[in-house]
Amino acid sequence: MKPIAIDLRCEYQPHPLGLGVRRPRLSWKLAGTDRGLRQTAYHLQVSEDESFQNLIWDSGEVLSDDSHLISWQGPDLMSRQQGCWRVRVCGGQHGWSDWSESSGFEIGLLEPSDWSARWMTSPAEPSSLQICPLFRKSFTLSGHVVKARLYTSARGLYLAWLDGQPVTDTQFMPGWTSYQHRLQYQTFDLTDQLSDGEHVLGLMLGEGWYKGTIGFAGHDGIYGRQTACLAQLELTYADGLTERIVSGGDWRTAAGPVRYSGIYKGEYYDGQYEQPGWTQPRAVLNPTDWQPVQLADDQSLDRLTAQEHWPVRVTESISPRQILTTPSGEQIIDMGQNMVGWLRFHLGGAPGTKIRVEHAEVLDRNGEFYTGNLRTADQVCEYHLTETTPRWYHPHFSWQGFRYVRISGWPGELNTDQLRGDVLHTDMPRSGFFECSDPQINQLQKNIVWGQRGNFLDIPTDCPQRDERLGWTGDAQMFIRTACFNYDTALFFSKWLRDLAADQSRERGVPFVVPNVLDDDQNFGQSYSSAAWGDAAVICPWTIYQCYGDRGILEQQFKSMKDWVEYIHAQGEQPWLWNTGFHFGDWLALDAPADGYVGATATDLIATAFYAYSCRLLAEAAAVLGRSESAQYSQWHEQIVHAFREEFITPSGRVAVPTQTAHVLVLAFDLALPTHRQRIAADLVQMIHKAGDSLTTGFVGTPYICHALSRFGHHDLSAKLLLRRDYPSWLYAVDHGATTIWEHWDSIRPDGSFWSDDMNSFNHYAYGAIGDWLYRVVCGLETDSSRPGYRHSLIHPRPISALTFAEARLETGYGLLACRWETHETTLRTDVKIPPNTTAQLTLDLQDPGDARHVMIDGQLLTGLCALPGEMTEDWLLDWQLEGCQLRLTLGSGSCRIEQPWNTGDDNHDNQ
């Protein structure tokens, strides 16, 4: 069958509306039944409409196997321009395919001059706890509308309605960016909703991140004291005439029923202040409630930027698992899952009914409702009901991190049918799945995914519940590779990294949190540039490039990456060590002093190790971009590594800092001489044994520890760490009922007590970075870094004897990549699936080199398919080689099953 292009994407999205670029990148996948499917050429057409008569860009036939993020070669696109596009592909001997189905995109407003809307605010401002104002505009249309686009934004958070209906299911708009520099607007297609007659646009405005309290120092008004909103409805009539309805002095505003709404605090809804029908035409409203709006003091439009990634929305609604009664007699709703979002309830109340909804992540050791770890975040929602007819209620501009809910004031019996947990997060496409034969590890994987969902709420946050919920750079850096397996996070991180760059200091340092809302006076005397935190500036773009083959992110971030490395370069007492300044160190490591946060690993070792790593990645990024700086940074890297060895490794190869994390970093970042590496790995193993076969690493060492062990011949010990059930271990938390990842190895101690109140989140994804090792090592899904985005995959599964199978699936930019291994008595069976238009090298560890003779591929002996290694075989089995105990097969696309002799009980078939 001829291959055909499917799943057309423009800037990663199927039909993007309101794109903020003039030269969008186009991608497609190949579909076909053959193995070894390859594209040899493509032909792209972009047209003004479906007819493909008026072409904007015709690529002609291009000899290329590229199908992912093809750069735009047509003329620059303009604001509001629409494009319809299709592609046909040539697949080797099959010749040219038919045209694909067409797909579309539309550009947003690219220039401040595209806006005639004015920022409007409520005359009632400012106050410390803000009533969320309503804004209303009624307008009458005459004529047939063929196109209607609404562009909206806010300094604060907004919701929008047209004629009583929400214009979108998206929440927490316009999202959180570095508002001093960038503010997103959203685009909505309202064509089908607008006809002749009267219509009403309504907006509700909350404080959000812009004006509300944010950060643990309790500051508010960080970006400004005046919230405001902006709306521009652009109409095109059948006769070609256009009209705009824009926010401005002719709108009316009233106080609404949301009396306050704070991200940490929660929300207070008072039904007495409802304005029934206010978003509908012909509403009967009390004119004294509705005042003319005030135009905002700041009318600037230059920071506006189109929505850059997937929006936040409710992606799932869960029913409570049970209603339980605590020993003290309180009724508590148990959602069965530590989740992020809000509780929605269905109720009608006698006028005056007051409902109070409190949220907690855990119960204490006595089984009582516990909110101590929230610190100053109340997470309380209150409702004053006036409506007797039952309806659903939920907060508007506040979310909570919770598993347990305590409701007071509920009339009659609590009933789970009236309660739902709405799960909210950035609605990224799910891309990866991991499963194995151990249910506890599967629960760990689930916990990692839930941790990602709850903490990818427009930005990557450390935690979703206490008075932080901040874009901690270190946490994001540690987790990003895992994140890229579970979900398609390319757009999510592209947006956040723009904010990171925007918030870099004048000295080029990187803030602890992005968007930056901390100031130097808070806690640390510094709010910028800790090692391993600031390195997010380099590690995150590099990881996105690796996982999605997105060269654009390197172009976008190159200056920021370079600035960060240059910043470090200027810090040390000598240029090749970073031995000054404040660092979080190996945060929360178990070798920290009692009740302290910073682990025992010397911070100058950590800082210099990350300096070397970031410098190496920067040199590689420069090389990818063909930039001349590459040689200079490679040379810097050598000098840093040299200085590191002089300072931290003895001439005989002993690491001078005797901690697990020090050894892990030396191995993970290739800092030791190759001749010393085995010894350092052996020393690490000894340290782990000494600690009772357990890890003592914190945020910095943990993401790399299993990688370092597996790579240097100690895969069995990695497996042991993973499978360990006692404290400290990943499964300790799972055995203690965790449904997300805890901040501490002992957030709940074996005796049921808590680590502490002040730093104890039960939904902190940092230690979830083990997910990367499950996908990348246990199931062996890796990309070749010179052909990133899984254009050429390096699949090297590493079975664990305690498991009978493990499987990972990943939807890549080319299609599904998967690997499953399973042991059957004396056989190891490995099933792989390679996406069309890609190749893979599959490495299998044999227990004996002679086993190669018995290896079967799809039921046929490998040696029968092709007697000699290196000889060309089928068009999908491109090559094979045997090197020691490693069998390497080079495969084209498609599925195949490989069987090899296997003696279970032997974990350590290690090769480097």
- With respect to ligand BGC, which residue has the nearer C-beta, 248 or 581? 581
- How far CA 726 is from CA of 719, 721, 751, in Å, comes to 14, 10, 13
Minimum distance from residue 478 beta carbon to ligand BGC (Å): 9
Minimum distance from residue 475 beta carbon to ligand BGC (Å): 5
Tokens of 471: 């874009």
- With respect to ligand BGC, which residue has the nearer C-beta, 531 or 803? 531
- With respect to ligand BGC, which residue has the nearer C-beta, 616 or 764? 764
Residue partners of 69: CB distance under 8 A and separation at least 6: 25, 26, 27, 548, 549, 550, 551, 552, 813
Give strand pairing partners of 357.
Answer: 381, 407
In the three-class reduction of DSSP (H, G, I as helix; E, B as strand; rest coil), residue 510 is classed as: coil
| Integer Cα distance of 675 and 757 in angstroms | 46
Peptide bond preceding 126 in cis form (omega within 30 of 0): yes
Query: CA 562, 628, 616: angle at the middle one, nearest 5?
Result: 50
- With respect to ligand BGC, which residue has the nearer C-beta, 513 or 817? 513
Peptide bond preceding 515 in cis form (omega within 30 of 0): yes
Minimum distance from residue 524 beta carbon to ligand BGC (Å): 9
DSSP state of 79: T
Measure the N-to-C terminal CA separation of the chain; round to a whole number of Å: 41
Q: Does 586 bind ligand BGC (CB under 6 A)?
A: no
Q: Which of residues 507-536 bind ligand BGC (CB under 6 A)?
A: none
468 catalytic per annotation? yes
Taking CB under 6 A as the criterion, the residue among 17, 90, 463, 649 binding ligand BGC is 463
| Integer Cα distance of 67 and 568 in angstroms | 38
Q: Which helix (H) or strand (E) holds 162?
A: strand 157-162
Taking CB under 6 A as the rule, which mask of x and - marks residues 411-450 in contact with ligand BGC?
----------------------------------------
- With respect to ligand BGC, which residue has the nearer C-beta, 468 or 899? 468
Give strand pairing partners of 840.
Answer: 793, 891
Residue 265 CA, distance from chain mean position: 25
- With respect to ligand BGC, which residue has the nearer C-beta, 564 or 587? 587
Minimum distance from residue 231 beta carbon to ligand BGC (Å): 36
Minimum distance from residue 362 beta carbon to ligand BGC (Å): 17
Token pair 């296997």 is found at 902
- With respect to ligand BGC, which residue has the nearer C-beta, 271 or 372? 372
- With respect to ligand BGC, which residue has the nearer C-beta, 234 or 462? 462
| Integer Cα distance of 890 and 30 in angstroms | 20
Residue partners of 474: CB distance under 8 A and separation at least 6: 512, 530, 532, 533, 536, 584, 587, 699, 700, 766
| Integer Cα distance of 119 and 263 in angstroms | 23
- Closest to 807 measured CA to CA, from 836, 778, 827: 778
Q: Does 834 bind ligand BGC (CB under 6 A)?
A: no
Minimum distance from residue 474 beta carbon to ligand BGC (Å): 5
Minimum distance from residue 912 beta carbon to ligand BGC (Å): 32
Contact 55, 37 (CB under 8 A): no
Minimum distance from residue 158 beta carbon to ligand BGC (Å): 28
Tokens of 893: 């696309």
Minimum distance from residue 746 beta carbon to ligand BGC (Å): 16
Taking CB under 6 A as the rule, which mask of x and - marks residues 764-793 in contact with ligand BGC?
x-----------------------------
- With respect to ligand BGC, which residue has the nearer C-beta, 88 or 469? 469
Contact 117, 246 (CB under 8 A): yes
Instruction: With both helix axes pointing from N to C terminus, report the angle between 715-723 and 674-690 in degrees, rounded to the nearest 10.
Output: 30
Q: Give the range of 117-125, 345-353, 460-468, 684-692 binding ligand BGC by CB under 6 A.
A: 460-468
Q: Does 587 bind ligand BGC (CB under 6 A)?
A: yes
Minimum distance from residue 603 beta carbon to ligand BGC (Å): 12
- Closest to 87 measured CA to CA, from 107, 49, 61, 53: 61
Q: Does 462 bind ligand BGC (CB under 6 A)?
A: yes
Q: Give the range of 469-477, 566-574, 859-867, 872-880 binding ligand BGC by CB under 6 A.
A: 469-477
Q: Give the range of 43-51, 435-443, 468-476, 790-798 binding ligand BGC by CB under 6 A.
A: 468-476
Q: Does 474 bind ligand BGC (CB under 6 A)?
A: yes
Tokens of 657: 């800092």
| Integer Cα distance of 470 and 477 in angstroms | 14
Q: Kindly name the residue from 267, 308, 361, 468 that is annotated as catalytic.
A: 468
- With respect to ligand BGC, which residue has the nearer C-beta, 171 or 461? 461
- Closest to 190 measured CA to CA, from 236, 150, 221: 150
- With respect to ligand BGC, which residue has the nearer C-beta, 472 or 545? 472
| Integer Cα distance of 296 and 293 in angstroms | 9
Amino acid (one-letter) located at 727: Y
Minimum distance from residue 761 beta carbon to ligand BGC (Å): 6
Q: Kindly name the residue from 11, 234, 435, 743 that is annotated as catalytic.
A: 743
Taking CB under 6 A as the criterion, the residue among 468, 591, 782, 811 binding ligand BGC is 468
In the three-class reduction of DSSP (H, G, I as helix; E, B as strand; rest coil), residue 248 is classed as: coil
Taking CB under 6 A as the criterion, the residue among 115, 402, 472, 755 binding ligand BGC is 472
Taking CB under 6 A as the rule, which mask of x and - marks residues 676-715 in contact with ligand BGC?
----------------------------------------
Q: Which of residues 341-370 bind ligand BGC (CB under 6 A)?
A: none
Give strand pairing partners of 369.
Answer: 363
Peptide bond preceding 174 in cis form (omega within 30 of 0): yes
Q: Give the range of 466-474, 487-495, 614-622, 789-797 binding ligand BGC by CB under 6 A.
A: 466-474
- How far CA 263 is from CA of 132, 395, 674, in Å, comes to 13, 10, 51
| Integer Cα distance of 900 and 865 in angstroms | 15
Query: CA 476, 481, 483: angle at the middle one, nearest 5?
Result: 70
Taking CB under 6 A as the criterion, the residue among 42, 584, 611, 775 binding ligand BGC is 584
- Closest to 144 measured CA to CA, from 236, 72, 214: 236
- With respect to ligand BGC, which residue has the nearer C-beta, 519 or 858? 519
871 catalytic per annotation? no
Q: Does 475 bind ligand BGC (CB under 6 A)?
A: yes
Minimum distance from residue 547 beta carbon to ligand BGC (Å): 22
Taking CB under 6 A as the rule, which mask of x and - marks residues 543-582 in contact with ligand BGC?
----------------------------------------
Q: Give the range of 326-334, 356-364, 376-384, 467-475 binding ligand BGC by CB under 6 A.
A: 467-475
Tokens of 195: 């006809």
Q: Give the range of 270-278, 471-479, 635-643, 803-811 binding ligand BGC by CB under 6 A.
A: 471-479
| Integer Cα distance of 903 and 905 in angstroms | 6
Count CB-CB contacts under 10 A for residue 523. Answer: 11
Q: Does 738 bind ligand BGC (CB under 6 A)?
A: no
The size of the interface with ligand BGC (CB under 6 A), counted in residues, is 9
Q: Does 845 bind ligand BGC (CB under 6 A)?
A: no
Taking CB under 6 A as the rule, which mask of x and - marks residues 258-277 in contact with ligand BGC?
--------------------
Count CB-CB contacts under 10 A for residue 777. Answer: 22
- Closest to 204 measured CA to CA, from 250, 165, 254: 254
Residue whose CB is nearest to ligand BGC in the complex, by number: 462
Q: Does 755 bind ligand BGC (CB under 6 A)?
A: no
Minimum distance from residue 589 beta carbon to ligand BGC (Å): 11
Q: Which residues are catalytic?
A: 468, 743
Which residues contribute to the site for ligand BGC (CB under 6 A)? Answer: 462-463, 468, 472, 474-475, 584, 587, 764
